[in-house]
A and B are shown apart, each in its own frame.
Chain A
Amino acid sequence: IAGITQAPTSQILAAGRRMTLRCTQDMRHNAMYWYRQDLGLGLRLIHYSNTAGTTGKGEVPDGYSVSRANTDDFPLTLASAVPSQTSVYFCASSRGPYYNEQFFGPGTRLTVL
């Protein structure tokens, strides 16, 4: 692994189903982030983690949860998917939460029907 990987690449999901998007980084970065990207709205922060064991809410956290059990992994869970959660989801990481560039994964395209 080099950088950040996300899985799955794409997914079609029935409304009401539970879904976990996976994100793994091998750069030993302390901070990790989940964004959603929607046409006309740009990137919006869903949740973030400044270091393993801590998480925080971003701009649009409702309907999503995250955990950060270790440095490398930062899964995003949709407990009960709704069509408005159809989006492209990007995971990112940075060395620390301050003054640092973010490295992005390739994204997961999620469609909720």
Chain B
Amino acid sequence: SQQGEEDPQALSIQEGENATMNCSYKTSINNLQWYRQNSGRGLVHLILIRSNEREKHSGRLRVTLDTSKKSSSLLITASRAADTASYFCATDYTVGGSNYKLTFGKGTLLTVNP
């Protein structure tokens, strides 16, 4: 399966600490995206990193991509209680030359304690 796998499945930290989540995948990708989901809500796109990029920043978010290891990491710096959510990586790849597929991992549940 192309599905990305997040690690860890759950992470609990104190407010102000940094949170790191990892994603591994199996085959070549076009890009990798990270999404956030608050309990009972839809997913919200956080950041997209293309296969030819190695690092990307957006506010307190830092994403890295290592295509040789087929892995990505999402770092949230100076975490806040409001960052409590599930975080999903989604890998985007092409099948058969023209069919686009985006598959999601099972997510990391991040809890930030006040």
A residues sitting closer than 8 Å to B (CB atoms) are 4, 35, 40-45, 50, 56, 59, 90, 92, 97-99, 101-107
A104 and B33 alpha carbons, distance in the complex (Å): 14
- In the complex, the answer to whether B31 meets A99 with C-beta atoms within 8 Å is yes
Q: In this complex, what residue of A is CB-closest to B99?
A: A56
- In the complex, the answer to whether B42 meets A101 with C-beta atoms within 8 Å is no
Q: In this complex, what residue of B is CB-closest to A109?
A: B40
Most buried by B among A98, A101, A105: A101
Of the candidates B31, B44, B50, B103, the one whose C-beta lies within 8 Å of that of A45 is: B103
Most buried by A among B43, B99, B104: B43
- In the complex, the answer to whether A102 meets B41 with C-beta atoms within 8 Å is no
A98 and B48 alpha carbons, distance in the complex (Å): 12
Most buried by B among A4, A50, A104, A106: A104
Q: How large is the interface on B (under 10, 10 to 19, 20 to 34, 35 or more residues)?
A: 20 to 34
Q: A99-B31, A101-B33, A102-B45 are in contact. Are A42 and B88 (CB under 8 A)?
A: yes
B32 to chain A, nearest CB (A): 11
- In the complex, the answer to whether B45 meets A103 with C-beta atoms within 8 Å is yes
Taking CB atoms and an 8 Å cut-off, the chain B residues in 24-48 that contact chain A are 30-31, 33, 35, 40-45, 48
Of the candidates A42, A56, A104, the one whose C-beta lies within 8 Å of that of B106 is: A42
A99 and B49 alpha carbons, distance in the complex (Å): 10
Of the candidates A42, A97, A105, the one whose C-beta lies within 8 Å of that of B104 is: A42
B15 to chain A, nearest CB (A): 27
Most buried by A among B88, B100, B102: B102
- In the complex, the answer to whether B41 meets A106 with C-beta atoms within 8 Å is yes
Q: Given the complex, which residues of B lie within 8 Å of A106, measured CB to CB?
A: 41-42
New contact pairs (16) apart from A42-B104, A99-B30, A104-B43, CB-CB < 8 Å: A4-B42, A35-B104, A40-B106, A41-B106, A56-B99, A92-B43, A97-B100, A98-B100, A99-B31, A101-B48, A102-B33, A102-B43, A102-B90, A104-B42, A106-B41, A107-B42
Of the candidates A42, A56, A59, A90, the one whose C-beta lies within 8 Å of that of B42 is: A90
B97 to chain A, nearest CB (A): 12
